Structure 1
Amino acid sequence: MDSNNSDEFYKKLKDQLADTSVWPAKYMYKFIVPSIPEKTDSISTIFDGLGAIIEHKVSSKGTYTSVSIKVTMSSPEAVIEKYKEVGKIEGVISL
């Protein structure tokens, strides 16, 4: 995603989150990542110290891992910041 599309996407997401929730609020992130321990560990590290509940589910062939994270976030901006941090990990798909 190029920078302009990324900026538009995050602005739209921020507006939707602001309109649909009262903050702080519980939020669930879902990511798909190649089943490489360093990548799944990197995602988990981003949410350290937030009291997040993190679940990993490996695909039937073991190629990919689904990472679900349930965490209370303080604001739409905080949600987006975590998406941007995880987005720096190569091969991660945000759902």
Structure 2
Amino acid sequence: MKKLNLLIPENFAVDEAAEFREKVNDLISKGEKHFKLDFKNCSFIDSTGLGVLVSIYKKCKELNGSLNIYAVNNPKVMKIFRLTRLDKVLEIES
């Protein structure tokens, strides 16, 4: 099973998140369903970014795919995952 590695932008908010959603939806329509999201550069995520992650996660699950998150290096970003309890839903690798 090949996982497609995607880099999350530094500021994963409204504009960047919408652009990222389009990119991933396009990849899903082409048959991709296994993704690894690299958060090494991400220093900010807002509710739009979180919503994009949840919608991608749901689509992947519907298609028997997978979504993994790794390299969440910024403590503020990790704190958002914990506060929203998405760290319990999404697979976040340390």
TM-score, normalization by structure 1: 0.33
Greater Rg over alpha carbons, structure: 1
Which structure would you say has the larger RCO, counting Cα contacts within 8 Å and 6 or more residues apart?
A: 1
User: If the length of structure 2 is used for normalisation, what is the TM-score?
Assistant: 0.34
More strand by share: 1
